[in-house]
Structure 1
Amino acid sequence: MAETQTLADLKDVMDGKTAEAGAVDVTALPEPKIDELGRAYATGKRKNSIARVWIKPGNGKVTVNGRDQEVYFARPVLRLIIRQAFEVSDRVDSYDVVATVKGGGLSGQAGAVRHGITKALTYYEPALRRPLKAAGFITRDSRVVERKKYGKAKARKSFQFSKR
């Protein structure tokens, strides 16, 4: 008898009668991680770059290593990478970002800042995890430069072969 009730309940859930399709269950979401200053902190990584990121509600100002993002990331593509997390979550110009980045080049640093912003957004608003995960921003991009091997010119390139 209990089995038939469970099957009926499952059918109701699949038909969307008991829960709305695509709705986020607020009770299952984790508690937001916000410090005493009203900020969320996260660490983002990409290649050899590590970014420490703090976000708080504001008007969309992004500061990287004490400089404005237009000064630090002069190329528009890098600023677009940083903005992607806010655009996917529909939070453009809603948060101020303060980030410190070390290591790697500018491209890796921009990716690290985006990763940190994404994680900090999920800490501040746990309901944003689903769209950011679907966009692929939560997963750390693990691709790094391959090391050079001995007996090789580069990681895989051999020296020029001479038959005579």
Structure 2
Amino acid sequence: MAELQSLEELGGAVETAAPEAPVHVQKLDAQGRAYATGKRKDAIARVWIKPGTGKISVNGKDFTEYFARPVLQMILRQPLMLTDRDSQYDVVATVTGGGLSGQAGAVRHGLSKALTHYEPELRGVLKKNGFLTRDARVVERKKFGKRKARRSFQFSKR
């Protein structure tokens, strides 16, 4: 059996890898908006962003009215503040399920994903700060023979 000295001797049997398109491309809908879904605990947020003045509305209300606590407002605005896009995009979000804290986290997750759909070059900054990672912590289910998920019934000696 003869040994090969170079790849050309194979006569084209080996395919060379074709140059691939960039992995992260801009994804916009027909109205020029970027859409993403964010999740946290039991909350699910649908988020659309489009170029604008920085108006943020959640379920048809201003976000300061919907999320009254300053901490929740800060959580929601973190991706925009981090990327210096605070007054560049209008954000429209609809959120269902869970409580206010989970909903704020879901909107933050969705907003971060929508920003990467609109500007793919922001992905590195957002990923490094953990905004693109879905926080998988959810409430543990109740087990039978227990009062709650792990708490037992009170022991009675007599």
Q: Assess same fold via TM > 0.5.
A: yes
Residue in structure 1 matched with residue 12 of structure 2 by the alignment: none
Tell me the number of residue pairs that the alignment of Structure 1 and Structure 2 aligns.
138
- Please tell me whether residue 133 in structure 1 is matched to residue 149 in structure 2: no
- Please tell me whether residue 80 in structure 1 is matched to residue 68 in structure 2: no
Structure 2: segments with no counterpart, 5+ residues: 1-20
CA contact (8 A) 1:40 1:56 kept: yes
- Give the drift of 1:38: 1.1
State the superposition RMSD in angstroms.
1.1
Q: SS at 1:133's partner residue?
A: helix
CA contact (8 A) 1:62 1:98 kept: yes
1:8-47 matches, cutoff 5 A = 28=22, 30-47=24-41
Question: Over alpha carbons, which structure has the higher Rg?
Answer: 2
Which of 129, 141, 145 is 1:147 aligned to?
Answer: 141
Classify 1:94/1:29 alpha carbon distance in 2 versus 1 (closer, same or farther; 3 Å): farther
CA contact (8 A) 1:53 1:100 kept: yes
Q: SS at 2:38's partner residue?
A: strand
What do residues 3-50 of structure 1 show as CA deviations (whole Å, max 9, x unaligned)? xxxxxxxxxxxxxxxxxxxxxxxx845220011211000000000000
TM-score, normalised by the number of residues in structure 2? 0.85
Structure 1: segments with no counterpart, 5+ residues: 1-26
For 1:141 and 1:77, locate their aligned partners in 2 and report how far apart those are by CA, in whole Å.
18
For 1:117 and 1:98, locate their aligned partners in 2 and report how far apart those are by CA, in whole Å.
9
- Please tell me whether residue 118 in structure 1 is matched to residue 112 in structure 2: yes
CA contact (8 A) 1:29 1:127 kept: no
Letter in 2 for 1:79: Q
- Please tell me whether residue 158 in structure 1 is matched to residue 147 in structure 2: no
Q: Percent identity?
A: 69
